[in-house]
């Protein structure tokens, strides 16, 4: 059973369409990131999932139920805006919220203490929320979302408005939740949150799911990488240049373009053998950012770039070319794209939404 | 059912604590003190029961109007999403706010009664007489609070609120439009207005007769039906408010 099943969902406010035929599924136990620009309908979707809003059309099932009142209390919700009842202390507030979820007595007291401890607020538990920083309030938000041990978490823009240290804290906490196997639906417009936390990312644009991508496929080495070194000798530069035409040296920098795991390993081995201190190794492109920007700019997709493993993009003579290249097929005028994707005739071209979702 | 009631009562307490700690209760306390000082402090002789119940009834209605508006506004804030996402649900949420208004109104009434009994006892008013006058008086407060819960922006959309207000205006048109103005209107319009006024003022009868009962404290004949009618109308308005809120899209607007 999927934790969230949405089919052909429409929602508009005062005649303004926000969601227009949204289809989306979130498997239980997964971390799903919904990416989209401000105003794209991410918060609206979360409010629909919580039953605060009602769809104009389409079906929506949460934890197997169409009647969302039946799943009330089984969902932990972390809202975008840090709006809490500030006249309570952290402990009092969690205790009341626990009571609203039918918790009571020593079990409630223990859960409150555990969650305050988990988010690092034990020391501030008896201070009024009005004295909390934004980061502390957001941590309290995570504690309250987890208090009733929900089956699923709906998290809306968790790091919005926080300073970098606060963002780091929240991402670390969410990372721990991910490790614990929670089903999480995370709406955000920060790519880093998706990169760090999610199994799958959907890009919400123009009221629909414009793309859906498995995040691990984006975590392969960047298609190009830049190595910064403390120093490099001309001999070593020449040695590296012999590895592949994809290796280009310039001063104390070495560019690998296109990059592959095998080439990267060879270059690093050569540098380590020569005792060259490496200052940094950075990818020069971010696939998710590229896909996101393409979607919001309305540009056609480049499925080959999005889905093919890095080893496919190798120039002649590249060390990966022999290992990674598929066996030659009989060509009848297919495009390179069709060849690379290994598709039969007539299927190449820009990805349609259905293909992109798979 | 018991759990649902327990959650609602917990939320009522939560709202009351929030209301008190935020300092909003000071307005009610200040108003009550001023009211007591002006109207119930001993000046010359002990006040008669009619005077006590009439002044306190009007003050309580005015005060519960303010408290209802304040507490409904407190509920109409984004903070409410966290509570609605829990098992309290929409019914428990609205009922909790309503009960908080009632709790404040009843507590302040108790305070006024106690202060009056201590500093300026009402002439000839026994405990039984006090209870006889208090019952319809507080039922009127409950009735008004239920109407205001229904009229809260988070419960009814603006168009529906305007419609209810228009109906209330028609019901009161006899008092609002003077005799001369009424005489100047065309005959058929006066007749239609009269019929509408009769129809729409009928639901207000329990409130008016309840006020009279608080003053007279005379439960002979069918007078016992008055508190029952007040209670039934209160339940009806509450049910309508819960029905409307259950179907409303929740977009909290308050800061």
Contacts of B84 (CB under 8 A, 6+ apart): A50, A52, B90, B93, B250
N-to-C CA span, chain B: 33
Q: At what angle do helices B127-150 and B205-216 cross, to 10 degrees?
A: 160
Residue B6 tokens read as: 């327990």
- Name the pTM for this structure: 0.80
Of A189 and A114, the structure prediction assigns the larger pLDDT to A114
- Identify the band that residue B194 occupies on the pLDDT scale cut at 50, 70 and 90: confident
According to DSSP, the β-strands at A225-229 and A253-256 are antiparallel
Give long-range contacts, CB 8 A cutoff, 24+ apart: B163-171: B167/B200, B168/B200, B168/B204, B170/B196, B170/B197, B170/B200, B171/B197, B171/B200, B171/B201, B171/B203, B171/B204
Give the Å distances, CA to CA, from A183 to A2, A63, A74: 10, 10, 12
**Residue B185 C-alpha from the chain's centroid:** 34
ipTM entry: 0.87
Chain-chain contact of B82 with A84 (C-beta, under 8 angstroms):
yes
pLDDT per residue as tens digits for the range B47-103 = 899 999 999 999 999 999 999 999 999 999 999 999 999 999 999 999 999 999 999
- At A55-77, the pLDDT tens digits run 999 999 999 999 998 888 899 99
Which of A63, A83, A100 best tests the B interface by mutation, with the highest count of B CBs <10 A?
Answer: A100
Interface touch A81/B88, C-beta < 8 Å? no
Residues of B with CB under 8 A from a CB of A: 3, 7, 10-11, 14, 17-18, 21-22, 77-79, 81-89, 249-251
pLDDT one-digit tens code per residue, A147-188 = 988 999 999 988 887 788 878 888 888 888 888 888 999 998
Report how far residue A104's alpha carbon sits from residue A112's, in angstroms, rounded to the nearest whole number: 11
**Would you mind telling me the total number of residues written for chain A in this entry?**
358
Q: What is the pLDDT of residue B179?
A: 64
Bridge partner residues of A213 (DSSP): A201
Q: What are residue B130's phi and psi, to 5 degrees?
A: -65, -45
Partner residue facing B3 (CB), from A69, A102, A148: A102
Residues from chain A that touch B86, judged by Cβ atoms under 8 A, are 72-73, 97, 100-101, 148
In angstroms, the CA A307 to CA A298 distance is 19
Q: Which of A223, A336, A358 is nearest to A282 (CA)?
A: A223
CB-neighbour burial class of residue B63 (10 A; exposed 0-12, middle 13-18, buried 19+)? buried
Per-residue pLDDT, A238: 87
Q: Taking CB atoms and an 8 Å cutoff, what residues of chain A touch B21? A: 87-88
A155, A134, A89: which is closest to A116 by C-alpha?
A89
Among the residue ranges A126-130, B163-167, B189-193, the one predicted with the least confidence is B189-193
């Amino acid at each position: 059973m999927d934790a969230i099943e949405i089919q052909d969902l429409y929602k508009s406010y005062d005649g303004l369409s926000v969601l227009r035929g949204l289809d989306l599924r979130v498997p239980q136990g997964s971390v799903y990131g919904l990416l989209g620009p401000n105003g794209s309908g991410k918060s609206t979707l979360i409010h629909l999932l919580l039953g605060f809003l009602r769809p104009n059309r389409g079906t929506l099932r949460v934890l197997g139920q169409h009647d969302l009142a039946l799943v009330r209390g089984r969902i932990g919700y972390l809202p975008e805006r840090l709006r809490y009842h500030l006249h309570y202390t952290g402990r009092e507030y969690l205790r009341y919220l626990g009571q609203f979820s039918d918790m009571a007595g020593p079990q409630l007291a223990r859960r409150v203490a555990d969650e305050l401890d988990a988010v690092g607020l034990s020391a501030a538990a008896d201070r009024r929320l009005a004295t909390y920083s934004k980061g502390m309030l957001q941590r309290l938000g995570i504690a309250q979302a987890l208090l009733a041990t929900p089956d699923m978490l709906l998290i809306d823009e968790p790091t919005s408005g926080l300073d970098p240290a606060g963002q780091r804290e929240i991402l670390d906490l969410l990372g721990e939740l991910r490790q614990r196997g929670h089903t999480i639906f995370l709406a955000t417009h920060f790519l880093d949150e998706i990169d760090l936390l999610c199994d799958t990312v959907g890009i919400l644009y123009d009221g629909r799911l414009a793309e859906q991508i498995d995040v691990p496929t984006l975590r392969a080495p960047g298609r190009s990488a830049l190595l910064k070194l403390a120093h490099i000798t001309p001999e070593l530069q020449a040695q590296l240049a012999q590895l592949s035409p994809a290796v280009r040296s310039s001063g104390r920098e070495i560019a690998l373009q296109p990059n592959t795991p095998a080439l990267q390993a060879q270059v690093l081995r050569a540098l380590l053998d020569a005792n060259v201190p490496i200052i940094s190794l950075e990818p020069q492109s971010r696939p998710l950012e590229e896909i996101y920007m393409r979607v919001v700019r309305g540009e056609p997709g480049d499925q080959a770039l999005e889905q093919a493993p890095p080893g496919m993009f190798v120039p002649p003579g590249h060390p990966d070319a022999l290992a990674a290249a598929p066996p030659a097929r009989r060509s009848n005028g297919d495009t390179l794209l069709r060849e690379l994707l290994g598709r039969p005739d007539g299927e190449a071209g820009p990805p349609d939404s259905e293909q992109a979702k798979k | 059912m018991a759990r649902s009631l327990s959650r609602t009562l917990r939320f009522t307490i939560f709202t009351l604590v929030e209301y008190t700690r935020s300092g909003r209760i000071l307005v009610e306390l200040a108003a009550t003190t001023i009211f007591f000082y002006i109207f119930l402090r001993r000046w010359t002789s002990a006040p008669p029961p009619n005077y006590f119940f009439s002044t306190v009834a009007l003050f309580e209605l005015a005060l519960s109007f303010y408290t209802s508006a304040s507490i409904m506004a407190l509920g109409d804030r984004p903070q409410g999403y966290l509570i609605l996402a829990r098992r309290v649900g929409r019914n428990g949420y609205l009922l909790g706010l309503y009960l908080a208004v009632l709790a404040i109104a009843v507590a302040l009434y108790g305070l006024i009664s106690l202060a009056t009994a201590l500093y300026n006892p009402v002439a000839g008013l026994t405990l039984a007489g006090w209870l006889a006058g208090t019952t319809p008086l507080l039922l009127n407060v409950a009735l008004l609070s239920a109407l205001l819960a229904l009229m809260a922006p988070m419960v009814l959309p603006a168009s529906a609120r305007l419609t209810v207000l228009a109906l209330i205006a028609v019901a009161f048109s006899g008092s609002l439009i003077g005799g001369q103005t009424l005489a100047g209107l065309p005959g058929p319009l006066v007749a239609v207005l009269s019929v509408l006024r009769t129809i729409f003022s009928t639901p207000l009868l329990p409130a008016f007769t309840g006020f009279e009962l608080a003053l007279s404290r005379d439960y002979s004949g069918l007078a016992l039906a008055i508190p029952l009618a007040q209670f039934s109308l209160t339940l009806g308005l509450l049910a309508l408010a819960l029905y409307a809120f259950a179907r409303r899209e929740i977009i909290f607007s308050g800061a």
